[in-house]
């Protein structure tokens, strides 16, 4: 007893990173334990911290710095941070084992989290080199074109407060801060205390790297205290955890009175369905068994996306149950550092007690057909002191009558198998969970897949259709991806995290702006149709990237379109659609006579606006967006072009690619320039419009 007391005295004290300093909380705090050995490893507290000051520091220091950075700069910052953390991942793995996680569990948490940084960093290529961006398309509000509207997205002036769950102490933090940092908002991260020692280790490396501006990230290892008393309308609060705790936080008086955005991702009763078409011996049969086993055992079932309900056609219930039991029997449980072990421990004894209590409730209407609630054989560990539990497969024979399986979640390696008769029954059963993060159907029948997806989609945030065609490369049922929405309706919290550009917009304020096209061009740094152009007599293609200004414009000479032109293009391209042939009888068609190919008109437009006689800063044509043909062009019509610099996005230098000959050992500093191409006929009416992209040289490298 004395030695245990001494170990507490000499224990590592977790620190909080607030207001630019690492500080320990006051008082005894909370003792944290190794989930495998049961030994105390750290102590943590947030007592004595001024939470109002923490939020104020984030808003005044971190927010100010991030809002000055462009999306491009923030994206490069995330990439640099991801590269830095990868260099230190082995340190994180060693600490992660203490949470009960195996190597694969830790890989999902650590490298999966770092992968989120990389993925979100790549989104910078879809965003402007400005701190703000436009959302959607311009909206004409007047007949003459002098009044218009648009939507502007700017970073909120507050702080993102992330209250995270214990199951993914690294991924849970990184997947959230990646989004708010790219949007231009700082974060205060409050990980679940029981595994906060791993989050602290990662934040130590983040702060030591000095990649983020000061105030962009703060960490609280312990209670959030009265922090929510100080949130305001510019802040965003996110929560991952139980639905009951989430509802309590969401109902906080300050959140309600200030209309603070609150994004909740709650643990849900996710389900998997075996299609009625799947028979023993089909690849989908084995895929189903493998997927269910993985969802029960990976992370010891401690995933918000884990499969809790298994729906199987009633005539296959016994065979599937036996196959699952055989697979679960092969699962080696114990010390995650032992290479034979495939399932580790729960995060702590408290979590194990909670799982056992929830299973007892489920047993009122179900029965255990595999595993034991009270005993488990483990490798290289002591089952009495570690937070180990056996995988548990339950059977509910009457899923429509016995609804506990659809209401009670045991947050561990626990899942319930249930029979169904028809696909409509499977859909109805999936909905009894009252909303989930994800669902999977394993089938090789497209009609069954369509029926399930369209029937069940309203109750699930994500649906995976799994069969032999995609199983090899599929990321699986339980893997949220950075560029897809992660969240779900109803019990799952009604929110959504991540989701590519959708996720970023949670931290941006959308404001409708109205005015003249010229004024909105000046505000947005993107040329708007009908805005005044800058015609200075210098061909825009003669200007280097930094010399170009938004609105630089060229009005070309006219070109007469002849029947001979159209005939030659039809012969050259092979496009001899009837409307392009002069001998066609045009009665009953949309056209009066032979009409020019739209692609010929676009090619002729290029001939008018391209400065092709000398080398110039334009390196190449990068593509065409939003090409539309709005009015037919007939022989005898003339066309001219209004060619305007619409948008500029600088590119960072890339590594040498020997397959690109013009690089010659060194990348060329360059940027992408978007040009608005407006094609007018000789009545000054618009015949076509497009956005073309060119790669334009920069005289010096982008830093």
What does the pLDDT read at residue 3?
Answer: 41
- The CA distance from 587 to 535, in Å, is 44
Q: Are 232 and 158 in contact (CB under 8 A)?
A: yes
Residues 418-433: tens digit of each pLDDT: 999 999 999 999 999 9
Express as a percent the part of the chain with pLDDT over 70.
Answer: 96
Identify the band that residue 651 occupies on the pLDDT scale cut at 50, 70 and 90. Answer: confident
Whether the full predicted model's pTM is greater than 0.85, yes or no, is yes
What does the pLDDT read at residue 612?
Answer: 67
* 2-264: CATH architecture: 3-Layer(aba) Sandwich (3.40)
Q: How many CB atoms lie within 10 A of CB 657?
A: 9
Residues 109-133: tens digit of each pLDDT: 999 999 999 999 999 989 999 999 9
Sequence-ordered list of residues with C-beta below 8 angstroms from that of 11, at least 6 positions apart, any chain: 31, 40, 41, 42, 43
Q: Are 454 and 430 in contact (CB under 8 A)?
A: no
* Half-sphere exposure of residue 76: CA atoms within 13 angstroms, side-chain side: 12
Strand order in the sheet with 187-190: 21-23, 16-18, 217-219, 187-190, 160-163, 236-241, 262-266
What does the pLDDT read at residue 1?
Answer: 41
Does residue 666 surpass a pLDDT of 90? Answer: no
Burial class (CB within 10 angstroms; exposed 0-12, middle 13-18, buried 19+) of 449:
buried
Does residue 7 surpass a pLDDT of 60? Answer: no
Query: Tokens 């007892």 — which residue?
Result: 360
Q: Are 46 and 24 in contact (CB under 8 A)?
A: no
- The CA distance from 171 to 561, in Å, is 60
Sequence-ordered list of residues with C-beta below 8 angstroms from that of 598, at least 6 positions apart, any chain: 627, 629, 688
Q: Return phi, psi of residue 115, to 5°.
A: -60, -35
What does the pLDDT read at residue 382?
Answer: 96
Please name every residue paired with 92 in a beta bridge, in sequence order, or none if there are none.
none
Burial class (CB within 10 angstroms; exposed 0-12, middle 13-18, buried 19+) of 439:
buried
Residues 561-611: tens digit of each pLDDT: 999 999 999 999 999 999 999 999 899 888 889 999 999 999 999 999 997
CB burial of 31-43 (b: ≥16 within 10 Å; e: otherwise) equals ebbbbbebeebbb
What does the pLDDT read at residue 613?
Answer: 64
- The CA distance from 289 to 544, in Å, is 59
User: Structure tokens of 57?
Assistant: 């520091």
Q: Cα angle vertex 264, ends 258, 269, to 5°? A: 155
Catalytic residue status for 557:
no
Does residue 2 surpass a pLDDT of 80? Answer: no
As a dihedral over the C-alpha atoms of residue 57, residue 185, residue 204, residue 655, rounded to 10 degrees, the angle is -140
Does residue 96 surpass a pLDDT of 90? Answer: yes
Range list of β-strands (E), 178-221? 187-190, 217-219
User: Structure tokens of 6?
Assistant: 């001494």
Sequence-ordered list of residues with C-beta below 8 angstroms from that of 278, at least 6 positions apart, any chain: 284, 285, 288, 316, 442, 443, 444
Q: Are 124 and 71 in contact (CB under 8 A)?
A: yes
Per DSSP, 483 falls in state T
What does the pLDDT read at residue 545?
Answer: 94
Specify the domain boundaries for CATH 3.40.605.10 within the chain: 2-264
What does the pLDDT read at residue 413?
Answer: 98
What does the pLDDT read at residue 702?
Answer: 47
Query: Tokens 């500080």 — which residue?
Result: 23
User: Structure tokens of 330?
Assistant: 């092969």
Identify the band that residue 622 occupies on the pLDDT scale cut at 50, 70 and 90. Answer: confident
As a dihedral over the C-alpha atoms of residue 533, residue 534, residue 537, residue 540, rounded to 10 degrees, the angle is -80
Residues 281-324: tens digit of each pLDDT: 999 999 999 999 999 999 999 999 999 999 999 999 999 999 99
Sequence-ordered list of residues with C-beta below 8 angstroms from that of 388, at least 6 positions apart, any chain: 333, 334, 345, 346, 352, 376, 378, 381
Does residue 9 surpass a pLDDT of 50? Answer: no
Express as a percent the part of the chain with pLDDT over 90.
Answer: 88
Mean pLDDT value of segment 157-164: 97
Catalytic residue status for 265:
yes
Among 8-22, 53-67, 480-494, name the one with the lowest average pLDDT: 8-22
Is residue 345 classed as helix, strand or coil in its secondary structure?
Answer: coil
Among 224-238, 467-481, 641-655, name the one with the lowest average pLDDT: 641-655
What does the pLDDT read at residue 163?
Answer: 97
Q: Are strands 496-498 and 485-487 parallel, antiparallel or unpaired?
A: antiparallel
Total residues belonging to the chain: 703
How distant, in Å, are the alpha carbons of 76, 122, 526, 545, 698 from that of 702? 12, 17, 20, 11, 8
Third-level CATH fold of 270-492:
Aldehyde Dehydrogenase; Chain A, domain 2 (3.40.309)
From 133, 221, 271, 304, the catalytic residue: 304
Residues 344-397: tens digit of each pLDDT: 999 999 999 999 999 999 999 999 999 999 999 999 999 999 999 999 999 999
Range list of β-strands (E), 175-229? 187-190, 217-219
Identify the band that residue 270 occupies on the pLDDT scale cut at 50, 70 and 90. Answer: very high
User: Structure tokens of 637?
Assistant: 């019509």
What does the pLDDT read at residue 18?
Answer: 97
What does the pLDDT read at residue 317?
Answer: 97
Third-level CATH fold of 533-697:
Thiol Ester Dehydrase; Chain A (3.10.129)
- Of 458, 410, 417, give the one whose Cα is nearest residue 436: 458
Is residue 280 classed as helix, strand or coil in its secondary structure?
Answer: coil
Q: Are 343 and 376 in contact (CB under 8 A)?
A: no
Mean pLDDT of the chain: 93
Identify the band that residue 225 occupies on the pLDDT scale cut at 50, 70 and 90. Answer: very high
Query: Tokens 């790297």 — which residue?
Result: 209
Per DSSP, 584 falls in state S
Q: Cα angle vertex 343, ends 339, 347, to 5°? A: 115
- The CA distance from 214 to 199, in Å, is 18
Specify the domain boundaries for CATH 3.10.129.10 within the chain: 533-697
- The CA distance from 318 to 425, in Å, is 19
Among 41-55, 511-525, 556-570, 689-703, name the one with the lowest average pLDDT: 689-703
Mean pLDDT value of segment 626-653: 93
Tell me which H or E stretch contains 43: strand 40-44
- Of 497, 384, 396, give the one whose Cα is nearest residue 438: 497
- Of 114, 127, 120, 122, give the one whose Cα is nearest residue 81: 114
Does residue 211 surpass a pLDDT of 50? Answer: yes
Does residue 187 surpass a pLDDT of 70? Answer: yes
User: Structure tokens of 351?
Assistant: 């979590």
From 265, 409, 496, 497, the catalytic residue: 265
Is residue 153 classed as helix, strand or coil in its secondary structure?
Answer: strand
Is residue 12 classed as helix, strand or coil in its secondary structure?
Answer: strand
């Amino acid at each position: 007893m004395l030695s245990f007391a001494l170990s507490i005295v000499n224990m590592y004290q977790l620190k909080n990173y607030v207001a630019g300093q690492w500080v320990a909380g006051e008082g005894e705090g909370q003792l944290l334990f190794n989930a495998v050995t049961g030994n105390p490893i750290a102590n943590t507290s947030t007592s004595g911290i001024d939470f109002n000051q923490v939020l104020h520091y984030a808003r005044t220091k971190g927010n100010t710095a991030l809002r000055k950075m462009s999306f491009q700069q923030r994206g490069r910052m995330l990439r640099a941070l991801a590269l830095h953390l990868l260099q230190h991942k082995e340190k994180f793995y060693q600490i992660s084992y203490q949470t009960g996680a195996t190597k694969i569990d830790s890989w999902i948490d650590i490298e999966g989290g770092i992968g989120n940084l990389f993925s979100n960093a790549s989104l910078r290529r879809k965003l402007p080199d400005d701190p703000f961006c436009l959302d959607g398309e311009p909206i004409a509000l007047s007949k003459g074109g002098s009044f218009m509207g648009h939507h502007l997205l700017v970073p909120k002036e507050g702080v993102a407060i992330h209250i995270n769950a214990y199951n993914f102490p690294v991924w849970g933090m990184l997947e959230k801060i990646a989004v708010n940092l790219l949007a231009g908002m700082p974060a205060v991260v409050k990980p679940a205390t029981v595994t906060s020692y791993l989050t602290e280790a990662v934040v130590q490396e983040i702060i030591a790297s000095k990649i983020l501006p000061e105030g962009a990230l703060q960490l609280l290892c312990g209670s959030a205290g009265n922090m929510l008393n100080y949130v305001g309308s510019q802040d965003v609060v996110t929560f991952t955890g139980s639905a009951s705790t989430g509802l309590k936080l969401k109902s906080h008086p300050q959140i309600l009175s200030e209309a603070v955005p609150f994004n909740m991702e709650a643990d849900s009763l996710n389900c998997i369905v075996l299609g009625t078409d799947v028979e023993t011996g089909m690849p989908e049969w084995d895929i189903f068994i493998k997927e269910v086993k993985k969802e029960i055992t990976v992370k010891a079932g401690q995933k918000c996306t884990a499969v809790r309900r298994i729906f199987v056609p009633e005539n296959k219930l016994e065979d599937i149950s036996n196959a699952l039991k055989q697979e679960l029997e092969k699962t080696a449980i114990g010390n995650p550092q032992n290479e034979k072990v495939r399932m580790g421990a729960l995060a702590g004894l408290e979590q194990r007690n909670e799982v056992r209590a929830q299973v007892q409730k489920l047993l009122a209407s179900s029965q255990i057909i595999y595993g034991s609630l009270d005993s488990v054989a483990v490798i290289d560990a002591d089952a009495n002191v570690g937070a180990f539990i056996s995988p548990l497969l339950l059977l509910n024979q009457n899923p429509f009558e016995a609804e506990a399986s659809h209401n009670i979640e045991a947050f561990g390696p626990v899942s319930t198998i249930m029979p169904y008769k028809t696909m409509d029954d499977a859909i109805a059963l999936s909905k009894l969970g009252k909303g989930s993060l994800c669902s999977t159907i394993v089938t090789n029948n497209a009609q069954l897949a369509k029926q399930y997806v369209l029937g069940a989609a309203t109750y699930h945030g994500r649906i995976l259709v799994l069969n032999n065609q995609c199983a090899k490369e599929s990321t699986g049922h339980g893997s949220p991806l950075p560029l897809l929405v992660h969240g779900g309706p109803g019990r799952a919290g009604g929110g959504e995290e991540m989701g590519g550009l959708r996720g970023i917009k949670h931290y941006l304020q959308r404001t409708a702006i109205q005015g003249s096209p010229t004024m909105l061009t000046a505000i947005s740094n993107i040329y708007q149709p009908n805005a005044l152009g800058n015609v200075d007599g210098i061909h825009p293609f003669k200007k280097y990237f930094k010399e170009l200004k938004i609105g630089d414009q060229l009005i070309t000479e006219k070109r007469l379109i002849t029947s001979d032109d159209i005939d030659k293009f039809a012969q050259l391209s092979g496009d001899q659609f009837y409307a392009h042939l002069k001998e066609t009888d045009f009665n009953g068609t949309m056209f009066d006579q032979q009409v020019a190919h739209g692609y010929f008109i676009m090619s002729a437009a290029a001939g008018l606006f391209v400065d092709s006689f000398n080398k110039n800063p334009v390196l190449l044509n990068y593509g065409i967006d939003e090409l539309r043909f709005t009015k037919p062009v007939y022989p005898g019509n003339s066309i001219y072009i209004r060619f305007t610099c619409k948008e500029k996005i600088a590119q960072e230098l890339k590594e040498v690619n020997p397959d690109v000959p013009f690089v010659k050992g060194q990348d060329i500093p360059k940027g992408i320039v978007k040009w608005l191409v407006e094609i007018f006929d000789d009545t000054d009416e618009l015949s076509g419009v497009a956005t073309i992209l060119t790669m334009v040289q920069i005289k010096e490298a982008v830093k």
